[in-house]
Amino acid sequence: MSEQQTSSFDLDALIVQLKHASRGEEPAKKIRHLIETAVANAQGVIDGIPHFEEDEVLLFEDDAVSIWHCRFLPGAAVPPHDHRMSAVIGVYTGQERNDFFENDPNGLIRKSGEAFLASGDVLSIGPSAIHSVACVSEAPCCGIHVYLGALTEIDRSLFDVQANETLKFTDENYQRLHAADV
């Protein structure tokens, strides 16, 4: 591969494209295409993306779209949660497992499926999805996560599967459930 092909990723340009796509027709479809195109050249993303000190970095947010860079360390797991909006996740390094949950007829939360994402993979999640994320690679798993709305402004839920409890998504509840998974 030529130097130009591996270093052509431009995060600022991608953010502008994602913002524009979020305001047009079929935003989820257009955003997925942009993320698929970006992570298809995983080495280009690795070479071109800035180094972030934090594991979760909000790159941009308005009422139509939230764009995050997320890094999950090996063995780390994010507890089951919802977004209450559609999301597109593109992984450019490492591997993650997404476990999906649903309410069973008795009102209990139970695992209903899973999806593994590796470098170059993209996952779309609907607004009613409940999922957890775990890094299953020996190296950190990094990706670009795009939500169709202002993620930081919406009331969300965390799910304690062991206690069959739905909790408000707060930093305190997140840390409590995250510590229980580690």
Q: Residue 180: which H helix or E strand, with range?
A: helix 171-181
CATH number at 58 reads 2.60.120.10
Q: Which amino acid is at 158?
A: L
In a domain? residue 146 = yes
Kindly state whether residue 30 falls inside one of the protein's structural domains.
no
Query: What pLDDT, on the 0 to 100 scale, is given for residue 164?
Result: 86
74 or 103: which carries more pLDDT confidence?
74
Give the pLDDT of residue 4: 42
**Per-residue pLDDT tens for 11-64?**
999 999 999 999 989 999 999 999 999 999 999 999 999 999 999 999 999 999
**SS3 per-residue string spanning 114-162:** EEEEECCCEEEECCCCEEEEEECCCCCEEEEEEECCCHHHCCCEEEECC
pLDDT band at 182 (very low <50, low <70, confident <90, very high): very low
Residue 5 has pLDDT above 90, yes or no: no
Q: So what's the pLDDT on residue 3?
A: 44
Inside any domain, residue 25? no
Residue 152 lies in a domain: yes
Q: How confident is the model at residue 6, as a pLDDT?
A: 47
Query: For residue 145, is it within any domain?
Result: yes
Q: Compare 182 and 13 and report the one with higher pLDDT.
A: 13
Q: Dihedral of the CA atoms 49, 58, 23, 96 (nearest 10)?
A: 70
- Banded model confidence at residue 108, pLDDT cuts 50, 70, 90: confident
* Contact between residue 43 and residue 129 where contact means Cβ atoms under 8 Å apart: no
Task: State the pLDDT at residue 7.
Answer: 55
pLDDT at residue 179, rounded to an integer: 60
What's the domain count of the chain? 1
Residue in this structure with the two tokens 């139509």, named with its chain if needed: 64
* Domain annotation covers residue 174: yes
Whether 67 maps to a domain, the answer reads yes
pLDDT in tens, 68-99: 999 999 999 999 999 999 999 999 999 999 99
Provide the residue range defining the domain that includes 114.
52-181
Residue 7 maps to a domain = no
pLDDT digits (tens, 9 = 90+) for 152-162: 999 999 999 88
Query: pLDDT exceeding 90 applies to what percent of the chain?
Result: 82
Residue 180 pLDDT: 54
What integer is the mean pLDDT of 93-118?
91
Average of per-residue pLDDT values in the chain = 92
